[in-house]
Structure 1
Amino acid sequence: MDIRHHPEDDLLLALSAGSLETGTRLVLSSHLELCAHCRERLRTLDALGGALLEDALPAPLADAALDRVFARIDALEAAAPRPIKVSAPPPLPEGARWPRALARCTATPWRWIGPGMSWSRVSVPAAPDANVFLLRIAAGKYLPQHTHRGLELTQVLHGRFHDGRALFGPGDFDAADDGIHHQPVVQEGSECICLASLDGRLRFDSPIARLFGSLVGM
């Protein structure tokens, strides 16, 4: 797999520090499953963080701090993991697979949002407010032109799209904020399936697209 687009170090550093929102973490973790280069970068950042902790001055903890930690661990273990449930679409094309990062999540069947376009809402049990979804767009089709309120992360699971800035293919990662104004166009030869998260909303140029976006939470 020829992965050309990777997350910036600030995102990997936030992942290492445990400070990412759930949706962002899921999409970033999905990229790491496929990208040995970024896994190595993350290991380096983890090592640097560990060295800084070793040099930090100790801080006193509350008497009940350890008990609270164990209680939270017990609560997480009590939540039974559930596999992703995507019943409507056929199996993914050969060579593509659903990310392991979604193992505790559920997903709706594919829902029509336009000619050649469908989406699936991903529900995260530990974070019901996380805005995570799957997009499936046919070859030659495109998302309406838009910018963003907040950060949009995209991980390509299958196929390719070009958004006027670059070509994104299987395994590629993209982070777009309110400084990016683009229109992803799926390339000929195959549909494109992506995992995405939003910490805001897409700002579509077209009023009709804005209406559809508001209905599906984009």
Structure 2
Amino acid sequence: MDIQHHPDDELLLALASGQLAPGMRRVLYSHLELCPACRERVQALNALGGQLLDGLTPADMGDDALARTFARIDAQAAAPARTITASAPPPLPAGARWPRSLAHCEATPWRWIGPGMRWSRVSLPEEPDANVFLLRIAAGKYLPRHTHQGTEFTQVLHGRFHDGRALFGPGDFDAADGEILHQPVVQDGSECICLASLDAPLRFEGAIARFFGSLVGM
């Protein structure tokens, strides 16, 4: 797999230090599954973080620290297990697979949002309100031109799109914010399937696009 677009070191450091929200973390982990280079960078950052922790002065723990820890373990053990249900989206095309980072999540069936365009809502057990979804768009189709009110992480699972900045293919990762105005266009030859997470709605150009975007939480 020829991966051309990767998360920068700032994002990988945020991941290694536990600073990313669950939805963003799941998308970024889906990139690491496919990218040995980024996995090595995260491992190096984790090792560096461990060295920094070893150099810190130990802090005193509260008298009830052990009891609270066991209480949290008991609470997690009692919680019902959640897995991807039978209503998960259909299998991906040959050569593609669902990310392991979506294990224990629930996904809706593909839903129509326009000619040649479908989407699936992904629910995370640790944060049900996280805005995570899958997009499945046919060759030659495109998303309306838009920018971002917050941050969007996108991981390409299958196919290719060009958004006016660059060509993104299988395994590629993109982080977009309010400084980016683009229109992803799926390239000929295959549909494109992406996993995405938003921390704020997109800002579409045009009233119709804004209306349909609001219906799916985009």
User: TM-score scaled to structure 1, two decimals?
Assistant: 0.95
The one-character-per-residue Cα deviations of 1:38-80 (angstroms, maximum 9, x if unpaired) are 0000000001101111111111121222332333233334444
- Give the letter aligned to residue 72 of structure 1: R
Q: C-alpha root-mean-square deviation of aligned residues, in Å?
A: 1.4
Name the residue aligned to 1:121. 121
- Does the 8 Å contact 2:147/2:204 carry over to 1? yes
Name the residue aligned to 1:147. 147
1:101 and 2:90 are equivalent in the alignment:
no
1:52/1:89 CA distance change after superposition, 3 Å: closer
The one-character-per-residue Cα deviations of 1:144-202 (angstroms, maximum 9, x if unpaired) are 00000110000001000000111100011000011110000000000000000000010
- SS of residue in 2 equivalent to 1:156: strand
The one-character-per-residue Cα deviations of 1:104-137 (angstroms, maximum 9, x if unpaired) are 1001111100110010000112101100000000
- SS of residue in 2 equivalent to 1:130: strand
Aligned partners of 1:78, 1:99: CA distance in 2, in Å? 27
- Give the letter aligned to residue 131 of structure 2: N
- Does the 8 Å contact 1:203/1:210 carry over to 2? yes
The one-character-per-residue Cα deviations of 1:74-108 (angstroms, maximum 9, x if unpaired) are 33344444332364754211110001111110011
User: TM-score scaled to structure 2, two decimals?
Assistant: 0.95
Aligned partners of 2:162, 2:16: CA distance in 1, in Å? 30
Name the residue aligned to 2:41. 41
Output aligned runs, 1:127-166, within 5 Å: 127-166=127-166
- Does the 8 Å contact 2:22/2:130 carry over to 1? yes
Name the residue aligned to 1:182. 182
Aligned partners of 1:49, 1:124: CA distance in 2, in Å? 27
Output aligned runs, 1:14-93, within 5 Å: 14-85=14-85, 87=87, 89-93=89-93
Range with bigger deviation, 59-68 or 11-20 = 59-68
Identity of aligned residues (%): 74
- Does the 8 Å contact 2:134/2:196 carry over to 1? yes
- Give the letter aligned to residue 16 of structure 1: A
Range with bigger deviation, 15-24 or 36-45 = 15-24
Gaps of 5+ in 1: none
1:203 and 2:203 are equivalent in the alignment:
yes
1:37/1:184 CA distance change after superposition, 3 Å: same
